[in-house]
Amino acid sequence: MKRFSALLLCLLITPPTAFAQTAGEKAWVTDRLEITLRKGKGTGFQILRMLRSGTAVEVLEVDRESGYSRVRTASGAEGWVLSRYLVKVPPALVRLPQAERRLTELETENRQLKEALAEATAARDEAQKVRKALEGKREELARELAEIKRISADAVRINEQNKTLKSRLLEATREIQMLRQENDSLRDRSNRDWFLVGAMVVIVSMLFGILLTRIRWRRKSSWGQL
């Protein structure tokens, strides 16, 4: 804004460039209140009208000897004016409103840019907050994932241990069943053996009793003969 104000000041205090005396170019009446548009090249010719400062004209012809130029106004009026009162750029009287409008536009644009910058800054700050929150959430999820992996690894290890224990339990169960069957077989065999032993004892006892009876009988017979 300060730079533009300085430029505007220079624009107002710098005198316009003199007209190059070339036909076919556009020109403006210099910074004078009014100049005369005459019917011919000289002060003795009729004044057709007065042209105010900042009036745009089209240069039709340039007479360097007389110092006059034939021009046409925007309304179509043609006549001669002194060439030294024509300039190649609009005078300050014309440029000042343009500069003021440009200044207003720049001020509006500057205000809009400031508002956009404030909105962008707020959006950036909000985005940074969201990013920090997301980073914290990501770290939390990473910790949870690591814990899940650890638990999963423990679960796999425990599952393998369970499979091993189940296999060993199954083998132990089979061994117990086999031992039970062997015990049952041994018990049955022992019972048979005891039965046979008992039977043998009974038989031996009976035989011994019979033998003992016969021995006694023989002894008695021998005593009777004596």
All structural domains of the chain with their residue ranges = 2-107
- R_g of the chain, CA atoms, integer Å: 67
Helices (H), ranges, 20-91: none
pLDDT of residue 4: 45
pLDDT of residue 217: 64
pLDDT digits (tens), the chain, 226 positions: 544 444 444 444 444 445 545 677 777 666 557 889 999 999 999 999 999 888 889 999 999 999 999 999 999 999 999 998 888 877 666 666 766 788 788 888 888 898 898 888 888 988 888 888 888 888 888 888 888 888 877 777 877 888 888 888 888 888 888 888 877 777 777 667 677 777 777 777 777 777 777 666 666 665 555 5
Structure tokens at 133: 């929150």
32: left (phi over 0), alpha (psi -120 to 50) or beta: beta
* Beta-carbon-side half-sphere exposure of residue 212 (alpha carbons within 13 Å): 6
Structure tokens at 86: 């024509």
The owner of tokens 């509006």 is: 108
The amino acid sitting at 4 is F
Strands (E), the chain: 26-29, 34-38, 47-52, 56-63, 68-73, 78-82, 86-87
pLDDT of residue 48: 94
pLDDT of residue 18: 52
2-107: CATH class: mainly beta
Structure tokens at 178: 């086999």
